[in-house]
Amino acid sequence: MAEDLEVGHMQDSAVTASDVGQFLLDELGPMRKTKLLKLVFYAQAWSLAFGRSLFEEDIQAWAFGPVAPSVFHRCSAVPPGEAVLDIGRGGALTPEAQHLIRTSVINRYGQLASEELVALTHGEAPWLSARGNLPPDARSDSVISKQQMARFYRQQYESDVLGGITLEEAEAGHQSLLNEPTVSVEELLRGLSD
């Protein structure tokens, strides 16, 4: 895979990080702010892995993990430990974006607790790289690179789903299968009876 991934945009550039958060709330129900912030990060990261950005806003490497500041501020009135109910327009996402979030984020991370999501993000290269040498509890507004998110989660996809081969290799293999000569059912049955 090329070092410099091209990061495109979904069809609707009016989608915000809060809209993604609301879609997650619509799908999973009320949740704590920390969990919502991490799931919004993962939605953006996995979308970037497939070459598209869900929203324009940068995600920052805060002490307790990746944060889309607008989502944090939309949730600021919610007391600590209480569930967030509403922050945006979940229906603003394209059907493609909704499908990607369901398959890449909700199915993988949706049942994890806030603390588990914080631990995951704290162990992954995009957050660690953006934090640099900062102490664990130091405040930071360092931006997590979209290119680094794309690269890291694309590699994770290739490792987990494709058994270590690249997406390009998988697509090339699929194309070669399409070019193979086909055998009719009659020929197959005749071969079995011989």
Is the predicted pLDDT of residue 103 greater than 80, yes or no? yes
**Residues 123, 111: Cα–Cα separation, whole Å:** 19
The tokens for 1 are: 């895979």
Identify the pLDDT of residue 110: 96
**Residues 120, 116: Cα–Cα separation, whole Å:** 6
Identify the pLDDT of residue 160: 77
Is the predicted pLDDT of residue 177 greater than 50, yes or no? no
What whole-number percentage of the chain has pLDDT above 90?
A: 62
Q: How far is CA 1 from the centre of its chain?
A: 18
Average pLDDT over residues 88-101: 87
Top pLDDT among 1 and 57 is at 57
Of 47, 73, 56, 76, nearest to 16 by C-alpha is: 56
Residues 12-50 as b/e (b if ≥16 CB within 10 A, e otherwise) read: eeebbbbbbbbbbbeebeebbbbbbbbbbbbbbbbbbbe
Identify the pLDDT of residue 162: 63
Is the predicted pLDDT of residue 71 greater than 50, yes or no? yes
48 falls in which pLDDT band (50, 70, 90)? very high
Average pLDDT over residues 62-91: 90
Is the predicted pLDDT of residue 142 greater than 70, yes or no? yes
